[in-house]
Structure 1
Amino acid sequence: MKKYLELMRQFDLIKSIKPEEIESYLSEGSCNITEYGKNNIVHFVGEFCSKLEIILSGKVVIERIDESGNLMTIADFYGGDVLGGNLMFSKNPYYPMTVTAKDATFILEINKDRLFQLFSDNHEFLRSYLEYVSDHTVILGDRIKHYVNRTIRESIISYLDYERKKQNSNIIKLNMTKKALAERIGVQRTSLSRELAKMREDGLIEYTPVSISLLHKFFKDCVRIMV
């Protein structure tokens, strides 16, 4: 229990809840800590969302399979990130995509009744919750818009533009294998390699095994597909 409480103290969303309160909620069952092994499914498509989940450690991804059968990673979530934050209060509170633990993962679950009570009694928690949900709803919506129903090149450009903003550089460092990058974009590895080669021939990028450099022509295509 102590190691979980120490993990929780790292995250802004949970800091406003006193450790003794969390212990009490865990004892009574309104909160729970669940462990998922690597590649375990956290939520299936269509599963009802009935609780707020805060990732304490590990890595969780949202995935979808496109019409060609390719696995697409829409978003990654790590310690301190939230699942179901806005979904559980919608009129259709069902997970639209699969949620998978990519590493051994621990998640704090807060049921809906306890969550409402925290909103009423702990305004600092409410403020942190609203800030998190507002910021990340925009980010996730943007990611989905940029990856769904796009050509391979458009998906690659959207991903690279996202990483350019995130890394604040026109030289994108690649911290994953080409197979993992293909899954992130939602294409086969061979299709990714072929399209990257075409983009280099067309003067959009230069790349090495560890980085991709964005050239002037890349930004012209980026503006075109982002509108």
Structure 2
Amino acid sequence: MTTTPYHHGNLRTALVEAAVETVRERGPEGLALREVARRVGVSHNAAYRHFADRDALVDAVAERAMVELVGAVHRRLDTVDEADPVARARRRLVAIGAGYVEFALAEPGLFRLLFTAYPDAPDAEGAGEDPYGMLNVALDELVDVGYLSPKDRPGAEVTCWSVVHGFAVLNVEGPLRGLEPSDRAAALTSLLLSVDRGLGASGTWPELAPRGAPK
């Protein structure tokens, strides 16, 4: 464990940094204002001047976690370079799923905290800068290029999210957490290709396998 030094005027930032490290080490259950204040080297009363309660601190850490999750997805999306619009749309959907799982495996504590901070289902019409919104945009693109039938679009975001999130949870804290990296990558590839085939009318497309599957 390390303390987080701070300079006058940025105590809130230091507290958030310490909270992030606490979640990484101990999971969401280990996050407490007193512990975070101790790590930074201030009184808990000083911490309460910036965060009214633990829930406020959880929200701040969740915001940081969401930024990192979105970044992981964008890094995957940046690898998509297909010129064909159908191939590009399909690849983008796969990239979003791969990026989501990659973040979950790299940051299990922050991944779990996100669903502590945001227990309610997101807006199904959302298209914002979050993985669920990005998923909705990707599915709309599949409709636009003619791969996904408009009649099959309603509810597709829930299906895709459930499949990928379930895979992530099984590998982070479930019975698949002991898989060898190569086996996990193969399982993820199979899962994402199954989702792709289920959405479209065409046959198999092995080249759609995610590049650099998470370890």
Bin for the TM-score computed over the shorter chain: 0.3 to 0.5
**TM-score after normalising by structure 2:** 0.32
**TM-score after normalising by structure 1:** 0.31
